[in-house]
């Protein structure tokens, strides 16, 4: 008798759960869409977003990098290559080459943390697909100049 009761109970409860399921999906069916069509519509990146690194700008449109190499040593994945020359003033160096290999970067941000002169910051770049490995090597100085031209 109990078995028979359970048999019918299961049918009724199961049927009701099916109706409930329908109610959820049909309810969602008439609600507005929440996705965006990516290449056509692009979302605003959050200011905190951490893309690959780039050089920060000084007031007089120069960069801060002194090619001390702290970031090179701190980087877990050997992403950074830096070269500098003795600056004309006589004291210290100025960076002339700053290469990053983005494909190996894990975006940990240690380089930004350790930089003694705050020469680095995170960029807002996120579309970084490329065809060759060489394309992932970015010359930050060239990028810096380009940005200056664009203003």
The site for other proteins (CB under 8 A) is made up of 10-11, 13-15, 17-18, 20-26, 28-35, 37, 46, 48-50, 74-78, 81, 99, 101, 104, 106-110, 113-114, 122, 131-134, 137
Contact between residue 35 and residue 102 where contact means Cβ atoms under 8 Å apart: no
Nearer to other proteins, 11 or 128 (CB): 11
Grouping H, G, I as helix, E, B as strand and the rest as coil, residue 82 is strand
Nearer to other proteins, 29 or 59 (CB): 29
Nearer to other proteins, 5 or 134 (CB): 134
CB atoms within 10 A of CB 121: 15
Torsion, CA 104, CA 107, CA 108, CA 110, rounded to 10: 80
Q: How far is CA 63 from CA 33, 39, 103, 118, in A?
A: 44, 33, 24, 10
Cβ at position 74, least distance to other proteins in Å? 7
What is residue 85's DSSP assignment? E
In terms of Cβ atoms closer than 10 Å to its own Cβ (0-12, 13-18, 19+), residue 84 is middle
Cβ at position 33, least distance to other proteins in Å? 5
Cβ at position 122, least distance to other proteins in Å? 6
Nearer to other proteins, 27 or 91 (CB): 27
Cβ at position 112, least distance to other proteins in Å? 9
């Amino acid at each position: 008798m109990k078995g028979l009761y359970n048999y019918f109970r299961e049918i009724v409860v199961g049927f009701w759960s099916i109706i409930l399921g329908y109610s959820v999906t049909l309810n969602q069916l008439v609600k507005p869409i929440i996705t965006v069509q990516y290449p056509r519509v692009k979302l605003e990146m959050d200011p905190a977003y951490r893309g690959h690194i780039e050089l920060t700008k000084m007031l007089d449109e120069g960069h801060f990098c002194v090619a001390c190499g702290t970031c090179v040593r701190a980087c877990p994945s050997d992403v950074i290559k830096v070269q500098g020359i003795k600056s004309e003033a006589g004291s210290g160096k100025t960076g002339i080459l700053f290469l990053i290999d983005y494909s190996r970067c894990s975006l940990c941000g240690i380089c930004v943390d350790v930089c003694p002169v705050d020469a680095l910051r995170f960029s807002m770049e996120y579309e970084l697909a490329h065809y060759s490995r060489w394309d992932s090597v970015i010359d930050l100085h060239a990028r810096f100049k380009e940005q200056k031209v664009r203003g």
